[in-house]
């Protein structure tokens, strides 16, 4: 039972990281059909924001708390700037958005090397998040993993409430279901797109802050994560928040189980084979968007 619970929690913690990364993609990819390959660099921006704040704020706990909203705003502002300068001209050409944002990601990686250097840097974790929580039966769970899980669930809850209960959320859902009908109904779709890109990119910044608790920060840290995040969004269903949540934790548990039984490389292969098999059976993803379109 100890081993079983340990692997289950490891899988859930991996799923929490995937969920934080994929939440923003679920918004931007789902609503605007934009394949944003620079999403990983927004994660990097959030992580480096934490690093910069720790250079001026001595307390690791205080710097982490301040980094959460600051990283959200920094990454969100980068997303808005990208949307204004490039993305808004490419909404009808999703493959072009992939190429353009990939080029932007390379530029941002080089900018990070120029500013912070090529070697990875490390941030200090608050003392409260460095230990473990002991549970009955000799079980232990890492405090930093618990914090990331709580942050991911809080982000999902806040995003769900915003989409369901606020006027902005209703406008976002209207644009997702039928952009043309929303536009002729008086909804400013360009402003909604800009706000959605800000929120989605800001969530990537939050993921970057969380990742500083798990390892070092480097210019290419986002590149190693972006493919897994896209897979979570596609398998869960384009623009489907509940599908993103379920698939993120399912893939996390599957990967943790595969790592325990085999190796990290074999576990990755198992995850990719499972994804391919699932998409062969259900290519539209776990959940699909219901619309009133006759097409």
- Asked whether the beta carbons of 30 and 176 are under 8 A apart, the reply is yes
- Asked whether the beta carbons of 208 and 42 are under 8 A apart, the reply is yes
Q: What confidence category does residue 7 fall into, taking pLDDT thresholds of 50, 70 and 90?
A: confident
How would you write 104-134 as a 3-class SS string? HHHHHHHHHHHHHCCCCECCCCCHHHCCEEE
Predicted local confidence at residue 291, as pLDDT: 52
Helices in the chain by DSSP H: which ranges? Answer: 2-32, 39-56, 60-85, 94-116, 143-165, 167-177, 179-184, 189-211, 223-236, 241-261, 264-281
Residue 286 has pLDDT above 60, yes or no: yes
Predicted local confidence at residue 108, as pLDDT: 94
pLDDT 10s digits, 93-125: 878 888 899 999 999 999 999 999 989 999 988
pLDDT 10s digits, 55-69: 888 888 899 999 999
Residue 153 has pLDDT above 90, yes or no: yes
pLDDT 10s digits, 118-152: 899 999 888 888 888 877 766 778 888 899 999 99
Spatial separation of the C-alpha atoms in residues 165 and 172, rounded to whole Å = 12
Taking the model in full, what pTM does it have?
Answer: 0.89
Q: How many CA atoms lie within 13 A of 75 on its CB side?
A: 34
Residue 158 has pLDDT above 90, yes or no: yes
Q: Is 98 exposed, middle or buried (0-12, 13-18, 19+ CB in 10 A)?
A: middle
- Mean pLDDT over the full length of the chain: 86
Residue 9 has pLDDT above 90, yes or no: no
Region 196-212: mean pLDDT is 92
Predicted local confidence at residue 69, as pLDDT: 94
What are the distances in angstroms from CA 126 to CA 58, 140, 142, 210?
A: 11, 19, 13, 12
Write 266-274 long-range contacts (CB < 8 A, 24+): none
- Asked whether the beta carbons of 63 and 54 are under 8 A apart, the reply is yes
């Amino acid at each position: 039972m100890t081993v079983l619970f340990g692997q289950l929690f490891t899988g859930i913690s991996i799923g929490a990281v995937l969920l934080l990364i994929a939440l923003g993609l679920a918004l931007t990819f789902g609503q605007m059909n934009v394949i944003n390959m620079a999403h990983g660099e927004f994660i990097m921006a959030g992580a480096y924001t934490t690093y910069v704040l720790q250079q001026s704020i001595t307390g690791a706990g205080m710097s982490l708390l301040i980094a959460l909203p600051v990283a959200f705003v920094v990454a969100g502002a980068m997303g808005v700037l990208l949307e204004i300068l490039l993305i808004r001209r490419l909404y009808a050409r999703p493959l072009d958005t992939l190429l353009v944002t990939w080029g932007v990601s390379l530029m941002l990686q080089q900018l990070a090397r120029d500013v912070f250097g090529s070697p990875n840097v490390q941030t200090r974790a608050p003392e409260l998040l460095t230990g473990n929580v002991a549970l009955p039966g000799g079980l232990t769970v890492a405090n930093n993993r618990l914090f990331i899980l709580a942050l991911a669930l809080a982000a999902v809850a806040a995003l769900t409430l915003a989409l369901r209960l606020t006027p902005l959320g209703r406008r976002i859902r209207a644009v997702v279901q039928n952009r043309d009908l929303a536009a002729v109904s008086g909804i400013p779709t360009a402003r909604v797109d800009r706000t959605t890109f800000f929120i989605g990119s800001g969530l990537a910044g939050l993921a970057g802050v969380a990742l500083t608790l798990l390892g070092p920060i480097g210019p290419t840290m986002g590149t190693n994560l972006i493919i897994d995040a896209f897979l979570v969004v596609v398998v869960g269903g384009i623009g489907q928040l509940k599908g993103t949540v379920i698939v993120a934790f399912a893939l996390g548990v599957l990967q943790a189980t595969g790592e325990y039984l085999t190796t990290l490389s074999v576990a990755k292969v198992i995850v990719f084979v499972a994804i391919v098999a699932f998409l062969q059976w259900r290519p539209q993803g776990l959940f699909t968007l219901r619309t009133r379109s006759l097409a």
